[in-house]
Structure 1
Amino acid sequence: MDFAFDARTEELRAKLLAFMDEYVYPAEAVAEEQRAALASPWDTPAVVEELKAEARRQGLWNLFLPDAEYGAGLTNLQYAPLAEITGRSPHLGPTALNCAAPDTGNMEVLAQFGDDAQKKQWLEPLLAGEIRSAFAMTEPEVASSDATNITTYIERASDGTGDYVITGRKWYISGAMNPDCKIFIVMGKTDPDGTDIRRQQSMVLVPRDTPGVTVKRAMKVFGYEDHSHGGHAEVVFDHARVPVTNLVGEEGGGFAIAQARLGPGRIHHCMRLIGMAERAIELMCRRAVSRQAFGKALAQQGVVHNWIADARVTVEQLRLLVLKTAWLMDTVGNRGAHAEIQAIKIATPRAVVDIIDRAIQLHGAGGVSQDFPLADLYAGARTLMIADGPDEVHQRSLARRELKKYL
């Protein structure tokens, strides 16, 4: 097995590492300062647009899309180390490269399932970084870990127009607070009484300015409003009407599209999580060599040695598992890599939460303050134990797959 990155990956890694050092890390504090002066905290700081322009100039743009017609044409294996690097600055790195969720998944959906008119109207401006988008599936009234539970209805209008009428309530809709979010991909039931519970759902495109669409409030995550990602919103659809041409794919195809969307999304999260862990290890080491307690540097304390060593071993294990999963997705497809995708989704957030937690402990009060990124990293990593399917759902499915060998 060859563990070396190919020439193109190495070239892009070198450019991206330099881009992060020269532009992204210095912009973290600038973005916070600029946001404080904005009329709305959900507006985009000017430095973010500057980062996007520079990334595009350097060819560091849409790296996530394997389809060369729309993106960089990289394989999952090539993209993995690049996503990891951006994960070290999770609020700015992915956004600067137009590789931030939920836009990445939405662009993949439109590229794979959208028709020509939908691609022209929505995919092209998303690829250009001119607008943002949101994916509306999760609902407050049901256990959304089972997507067949959703209760939002997508019904044909009774006036003969053939329009769809959408009624329901969604929450934790990422990016929806950003005024640049112009389009929602909404999952709801077009055939709620259908015998196949995985064919009851469909997806439709709902422009933000559609009458009946209300972005009601921002949802906090561990007290954070997550301004950098455009927040997480509660969104109400009250008889919102869109033409039938806004259907994505076919009626009854919503569940399958969601699964196609979530596979790459899960591995992208895990790639970035490894970068978050690397940032935490770096901060932990810098803190350890710069602080003294009880007459010696923290770096000389045995327990600190254990934390750092365990963190390094864990990250190396996770990286290999993620790279194996990426390779399988490239060679046997997402379905063939299903077990590995589940494995990394279980293992990576859990382990990275522990690493960040140790880094917080080493920083003392500073670790939970706004002066270091650790508390924010912790909130993001811990949330990913729920997002895109909670750990327990993946454990259940993975265990069933394993038990099948013995039944």
Structure 2
Amino acid sequence: MDFAFDARTEELRARLLAFMDEYVYPAEQVAHEQRARLASPWQDPPVVEELKAEARRQGLWNLFLPDAEYGAGLTNLQYAPLAEITGRSPQLAPTATNCAAPDTGNMEVLAQFGDERQKKQWLQPLLAGEIRSAFAMTEPEVASSDATNITTHIERASDGTDEYVITGRKWYISGAMHPDCQIFIVMGKTDPDGPDIRRQQSMVLVPRDTPGVTVERAMQVFGYEDHYHGGHAEVVFDHARVPVSNLIGEEGGGFAIAQARLGPGRIHHCMRLIGMAERAIELMCRRAVSRTAFGKALAQQGVVQNWIADARVQVEQLRLLVLKTAWLMDTVGNKGAHTEIQAIKIATPRTVVGILDRAIQLHGAGGVSQDFPLAELYAGARTLMLADGPDEVHQRSLARRELKKYL
């Protein structure tokens, strides 16, 4: 395993770091001030469109997509250090470079499983950053950590029309509050009584303006509405009808598509989390050398030194594990890297939450305020212990794989 960055990665890293310094970090406060003056809190501040235009101009666009026909054609190992950099400003940088979830996962699904009509109608405008999208899987009435529990029905119309009728309730549907969100990828059951519980589900494309689709409310995350990610909504599908041609892949293929979507999504989250941890360490160090308590700088306090040292060790460990996982995904595929994908999904959010918690502690009251990004970063990192499968599900699966060697 050789994790040295190749020439293309080094060149993109240099450009992206310069883009962050020159445009993204200065835009953070500007975006905050602009958002306060918007007619709708779900609109992007004008500075976001300026960032997107500059990122496109510099070729820092769709970096996440390994398919060279549609994206930058980077491997997971090449993309990892770039996603880490954007994770330092998760509110702005992923959106500015068109590398923000859930659009990234949805574009990957359409690129891999969509037909030519679906790609033309939905993938192309998503790649261009002209529209946004949402992925509707989680439901409030069932334990959605087990995707086979999903109860939303996708049924063939009984009136002879070549349509599906969709009925169900979803929540925490990321991106659904954004005014540019025009399409949902909805996971539901087309064969609820089928003998194979992993072949009961399918995925269909449902335009947001479809009659019977109602975005009922925005869901908060630790009190945040997460405007920068287009919010998280509760959505009702009340006999919403779409053409059968809106099916992605085949009937019964929804579970497999979800797994294909979530593998890259999990490692992308972990890559960005490392960037969040690096931002926290930087803020800790700046705070420690600028504040005095009990007669000496915080940087001279042993407990603070321990926090900073531990954080550095933890980040280096996580980075190596994430890079190994990216390398395996590139060389043996997502299935071959299954153990490592689960390992980083367990370790990274948990560890970064701890680093952010200590950074907040070091900042005192400022740490929980809006004057520093730490509280919002903490909320985002803590949420990732639930998103894309809760830690306990991954631990269960990982433990079973380990125990199988001895049975």
Per the TM superposition, whether the score is higher than 0.5 is: yes
Equivalent pairs counted in the alignment come to: 407
Secondary structure of the 1:224 match is coil
Q: Would you say the 8 A contact 2:190–2:251 is kept in 1?
A: yes
Task: Quote the offset at 1:82 in angstroms.
Answer: 0.1
Offset from partner CA, 1:74-122 (integer Å, 9 cap, x none): 0000000000000000010100000000000000000000000000000
How far apart are the structure 1 equivalents of 2:94 and 2:284?
23
Task: Quote the offset at 1:4 in angstroms.
Answer: 1.5
How far apart are the structure 2 equivalents of 1:139 and 1:211?
20
Structure 2: gaps spanning 5 or more residues: none
Offset from partner CA, 1:24-64 (integer Å, 9 cap, x none): 00111111111111110001111001000000000000000
How far apart are the structure 2 equivalents of 1:221 and 1:384?
11
How far apart are the structure 2 equivalents of 1:3 and 1:72?
20
Q: Would you say the 8 A contact 2:152–2:188 is kept in 1?
A: yes
Task: Quote the offset at 1:2 in angstroms.
Answer: 2.7
Task: Quote the offset at 1:140 in angstroms.
Answer: 0.1
Task: Quote the offset at 1:387 in angstroms.
Answer: 0.2
Alignment correspondent of 1:5? 5
Task: Quote the offset at 1:127 in angstroms.
Answer: 0.1
Secondary structure of the 2:206 match is strand
Offset from partner CA, 1:308-331 (integer Å, 9 cap, x none): 000000000000000000000000
How far apart are the structure 2 equivalents of 1:268 and 1:187?
22
How far apart are the structure 2 equivalents of 1:265 and 1:24?
23
Q: Would you say the 8 A contact 2:193–2:200 is kept in 1?
A: yes
Task: Quote the offset at 1:283 in angstroms.
Answer: 0.2
Task: Quote the offset at 1:3 in angstroms.
Answer: 3.1
How far apart are the structure 1 equivalents of 2:344 and 2:131?
31
Q: Normalising by structure 1, report the TM-score.
A: 1.00
Offset from partner CA, 1:326-376 (integer Å, 9 cap, x none): 000000000000000000000000000000000000000000000000000
Offset from partner CA, 1:135-165 (integer Å, 9 cap, x none): 0000000000000000000001111012000
Alignment correspondent of 1:338? 338
Quote the RMSD (CA, aligned, Å). 0.4
Secondary structure of the 1:210 match is coil
Secondary structure of the 2:26 match is helix
Q: Would you say the 8 A contact 2:3–2:323 is kept in 1?
A: no
Offset from partner CA, 1:6-41 (integer Å, 9 cap, x none): 000000000000000000001111111111111100
In the alignment, does 2:94 pair up with 1:94?
yes
In the alignment, does 2:296 pair up with 1:296?
yes
Structure 1: gaps spanning 5 or more residues: none
How far apart are the structure 1 equivalents of 2:203 and 2:109?
10
Q: Normalising by structure 2, report the TM-score.
A: 1.00
How far apart are the structure 1 equivalents of 2:405 and 2:139?
35
How far apart are the structure 2 equivalents of 1:26 and 1:132?
25
Offset from partner CA, 1:275-316 (integer Å, 9 cap, x none): 000000000000000000000000000000000000000000
How far apart are the structure 1 equivalents of 2:101 and 2:232?
12
How far apart are the structure 1 equivalents of 2:342 and 2:69?
29
How far apart are the structure 2 equivalents of 1:44 and 1:369?
22
Secondary structure of the 1:275 match is helix
Percent identity over the alignment?
Answer: 92
How far apart are the structure 2 equivalents of 1:347 and 1:125?
35
